[in-house]
Chain A
């Protein structure tokens, strides 16, 4: 992620005593904050004793816990809130004062933060916002928050111990299904929340409000709440409401729902590769509906399982990619898959005999002839296959290459259209290599060898005639024609 700045309005919500008031309220805010935004922030901000205590914490020795929330405001802007303890509650009625620094920014700036509110949170921490300001000026300036490279780094996270595979897939499925979920977790709410959120496609995340490390409250009503609460009390609070309570600390793991997207995300979660998952899911996808997600999941799954996929399937993946219409970032992922398939196929064709390679030759030729992009993708595979054919016999390679030589009307796609000239050169080189070897062989072959051509080639004259029909002005063919006496094609 490149470094950038995020223009934000800010608001501080905490409990202090002033000559005009006492208790929790917005004690300082930027001028740009609208009244309805302040109302929502007031309603959503944590107040007395709202920060969760981790399982290792005791009331006498509170850990340095953090809480966070992310939610859309009525204006359409987004709010990221970072909460921490700020000393003892000043009224002396026990507990710690909760201090929350809220940043409000435009939804259009969200993609610059990789659709990840935790990047904003890390940038807030780097900017020193974990140090409570209990006597701020009542009007805060608009902030240009530096989103640094280090803030953009997603930490490695092991989900397994806190949230087993069944639980996490269940929660992610519920989020994608636009349900409201409360998850009871003993500790590390922020890390787990980020890992879960990363499982949601980037463009959908602005709609996934969440809180982590804050005690559950119906009033906040976020789509995802990660906290440590008394399960019975929470269940009682949500009775009759369209909310799901998930308690991985007790009970059996649910059977995880299945979909291509879920299995793609789960593979990253189970290998603790949250950063890799973030890179893949935080892209400006065009279609993030259920069908679009599944299609993306399938593409990523095929990329990751390319080494285990059989050759015919990989070739069909490339062919399918060439047939797909060009749609935003999805096309790039399909291209990524095609390149991965090409890479795997090149490795396989390097070691293949022509007998093995020939069964895929027709598909390879189809890809080759499909488009400029097809030629680029097929070229290294073709070279290896033709090398295998040449090893068998130069005539076999020539017979095979003839299928490539037929000129086609090419339709270039996107960036591939620019490389049309390159593919023409590639095309010519491949053909010339094959024909040169055939010419070398023909010039050195005995008459008997020329008459007994291998395999299906009927006669050298016939083969050269067909080649001349496809490449009438090829000088290499002229060399062979002289040797075998095939007629000139005008």
Chain B
């Protein structure tokens, strides 16, 4: 509510960028890290959080990573999601200011909505209003030969196609940055993200070519090194030993460049 009121007070159309992806793909960590880098004036960007609630996500992510832990799982309940509202711009005179609204949605909720539309209507509503979309795909899993990232991304793109494109022959114009997350597991994808996608996410690539006008692949990773342990239930637990963000800003920059046109 506060977010809407603040956005309205700016007298500009808010620019919603939606981060989507499967459960445990790294949406929270990526978004938290991105916002933190923007608010630390990385590259020539500047981002000002509008409201303390907007800082919660980056605060949470950075605090957990500093403690060598991944942040807790995002709950499916919509009111448990972190909603962030930042004013972002390039640091030069007369640069356009973007009112960025970026919710950190639960992967399970996205999956449920994709599997059975209208389960979480807020997701559809957000996607319909989105100026740009960031689709995270687990490069580590894809590189290891799992078909799951490819299939899930394919379903998501098909859903987006259904939601955002009204005419069958029309291709979707909203920019979609396909972010190959956890790329530190498959370092080769930093060299050629598109080539990596063609090899390991072939179904997704074909879908993009067929139905999307504006899309690009980016490789990204947040963690420099991982340690592993087990919990009391014998689950293997990864521990981020140090933070080494790589390729975080590029997808954002690309989307802004598309919006600026």
Contacts and interface: CB of A to CB of B under 8 A. Distances in A.
Interface of A: 15, 19-25, 35, 38-39, 42-43, 45-50, 87-95, 215, 217-220, 237, 239-240
B210 interface: no
Contact of A42 (B70, B119, B148, B237): B119
B22 A22 contact: yes
A101 B74 CA distance: 21
A50 B75 contact: yes
Nearest to B118: A39
A88 B231 contact: yes
B231 A92 contact: yes
Given A22-B23, A239-B1, A42 B74 contact: no
B216 interface: no
Given A23-B106, A88-B235, 6 more contacts: A20-B148, A23-B107, A47-B77, A47-B108, A88-B231, A91-B24
A48 B72 CA distance: 9
Interface residues of B, number: 35
Contacts of B23: 21-24
A316 to B, nearest CB: 55
Contacts of A20: 148, 151
Contact of A93 (B73, B112, B148, B232): B73
Interface in B31-45: none
28 contacts: A20-B148, A21-B22, A22-B22, A22-B24, A23-B23, A23-B108, A24-B106, A39-B116, A42-B116, A43-B112, A43-B119, A45-B76, A47-B75, A47-B76, A47-B77, A48-B72, A48-B74, A49-B72, A50-B77, A88-B233, A88-B235, A89-B73, A91-B24, A93-B72, A95-B73, A218-B77, A219-B79, A239-B1
Nearest to B70: A93
Interface string B159-197: 000000000000000000000000000000000000000
A239 B71 CA distance: 27
Contacts of B106: 23-24, 47
Given A20-B148, A47-B76, A237-B79, A38 B116 contact: yes
B248 interface: no
A337 to B, nearest CB: 47
User: Does more than half of chain B's interface fall in helix, strand or loop, or is it mixed?
Assistant: loop
Nearest to A98: B75
Contact of A21 (B75, B111, B120, B238): B111
Interface in B67-120: 69-80, 106-108, 111-112, 116, 118-120
B9 interface: no
* In the complex, the 8 A-B pairs of residues with the closest C-beta atoms, listed nearest first: A23-B23, A92-B237, A47-B76, A217-B77, A23-B108, A87-B233, A24-B108, A48-B73
A456 B75 CA distance: 87
Contacts of A219: 77-79
A93 B119 contact: no
Given A19-B148, A39-B118, A42-B119, A94 B69 contact: yes
Give the interface SS of chain A, mostly helix, strand, loop or mixed: loop
Nearest to A95: B72
A90 B152 CA distance: 20
Contacts of B120: 43
Contact of B75 (A35, A48, A91, A94): A48
A466 B1 CA distance: 86
Nearest to A214: B77
A142 B111 CA distance: 26
Contacts of A91: 24, 73, 235
Contacts of A45: 76
Nearest to A234: B79
Interface in B114-165: 116, 118-120, 148, 151-152
Most buried by B among A20, A24, A46, A218: A24
A35 B115 CA distance: 10
Nearest to A89: B73
A237 B116 CA distance: 27
A43 B108 CA distance: 11
B73 A35 contact: no
A220 B77 contact: yes
Contact of B72 (A19, A42, A90, A94): A94
Contacts of B116: 35, 38-39, 42
Contacts of A239: 1
Contacts of B232: 87-88
A306 to B, nearest CB: 50
Interface string B193-223: 0000000000000000000000000000000
Contacts of A39: 112, 116, 118-119
Nearest to A42: B112
B71 A25 contact: no
Contacts of A22: 22-24, 107, 148
A91 B1 CA distance: 32
A163 B162 CA distance: 50
Contacts of B152: 21
Contacts of B24: 22-23, 91, 93
Contact of A25 (B70, B80, B111, B237): B111
A132 B23 CA distance: 22
Contacts of A220: 77
A242 to B, nearest CB: 14
Contacts of A88: 231-233, 235
Contact of A49 (B69, B75, B111, B235): B75
A15 B76 CA distance: 11
A45 B77 CA distance: 9
Contacts of B80: 217
A218 B236 contact: no
A304 to B, nearest CB: 43
B233 A90 contact: yes
Contacts of A47: 75-77, 106, 108
A418 to B, nearest CB: 57
